[in-house]
Amino acid sequence: MKKVTILGAGNVGTNCALFIAEKNVADVTLIDVKPGYAAGKALDLMESGPIRDYDVVIQGSEDLYDLVYSDVVVVAAGKVREPGMSREDVLEDNVKVVDSFVKEIAKFAPNAVVIVVTEPVDAMTYYVLKKTGFPSSQVVGMAGVLDAARAGEIIARQLQVAPTDVEACFIGGHHDEMIFLPQYSRVSGIPVTELLSSEEIAQVREEVKDAGHQILERMKRGTAFYAPAASTARMVETIIRERHRILSAPVYATGEYGLRDVCIGLPILLDKMGVRRIVELKLTDEQKEALNKSAEALRSTQEKLASRIKEMAS
């Protein structure tokens, strides 16, 4: 059985473990710094197995050595936003959290594909990539899958169709500059551009952009976790079971779409090796401009992180 290790046994990490288990994808190890916390969550999940029909092994630990033999590592640890906070407001706290275990990922799980969920996901994907020294194919963020899922629910609601029949495509950063690609979004194979007006298409983007904030404002404490966990589990399944799916995710650009040295959401082919390749789609001039604008919004933060890494190494 393959092994997935999830760093952080909070709401996202625990539900990700549940979704992976329910698909019988892999054994799961939850790691959390709180003594006994991950072990307690793991035991509770194991006791759900006879009812939910899964028989994978779920373990909990505080020891980073338990990263060994991981095929996939999910980085879900970190501070979550509170009402009134942006994703960037948790950057400094979450850099410190990631610093507490990122070297151990490289040491104990050098061949694992790493999926970064910690906010802000584009910047943290860049940071994990640079700190581990892994090939860019081995580190990928979770965001485009979540944005597509949110869009799928919105489009299904607009058209009164089954959400499972909707495939949506987003690129760009997981922030206000995210870009909806309606020409590559479909309902049962029919392009969304044939089914929705330009006003309705614009509404989809605005609702997706605001989705996390809306959940945060309603919950008051904590933020979205079911959909992010489900999105992460889908990526894990794609890797472990070699599904060879094309989806959007924050990855390191090396010239694709004219972008370099920035982690940003782009269409990728994901398989057991991680990012097999970045898929270059034909974009409109407006979409190209929006993608460049999104990249510039991300680049300044990521350049600061790169400078910090160099200072720490010197």
- Given 141, 169, 191, which residue is the final one in a domain? 141
Which residues, in sequence order, are bridge partners of residue 187? 166, 190
- Which of 174, 175, 213, 244 is flagged as catalytic? 174
Helix then strand count (H, E) for the chain reads 10, 14
- Given 100, 125, 141, which residue is the final one in a domain? 141
Same domain, 264 and 182: yes
- Given 123, 141, 159, which residue is the final one in a domain? 141
Helix (H, G, I), strand (E, B) or coil at 12: helix
pLDDT (tens digit per residue) in 236-286: 999 999 999 999 999 999 999 999 999 999 999 999 999 999 999 999 999
Same domain, 17 and 133: yes
Supply the mean pLDDT for the chain: 94
Give the domain CATH number at 231: 3.90.110.10
Number of domains composing the chain: 2
Helix (H, G, I), strand (E, B) or coil at 199: helix
- pLDDT given for residue 177 in this prediction: 82
pLDDT (tens digit per residue) in 50-73: 999 999 999 999 999 999 999 999
Interval 179-196 mean pLDDT: 97
Helix (H, G, I), strand (E, B) or coil at 173: coil
213 annotated active-site = no
Give the domain CATH number at 14: 3.40.50.720
- pLDDT given for residue 68 in this prediction: 98
pLDDT (tens digit per residue) in 280-308: 999 999 999 999 999 999 998 999 898 88
Average the pLDDT over each of 35-44, 79-88, 235-244 and give the range with the smallest value.
Answer: 79-88
Identify the domain containing residue 269 by its residue range.
144-304
DSSP label at residue 42:
H
pLDDT at 172 over 80: yes
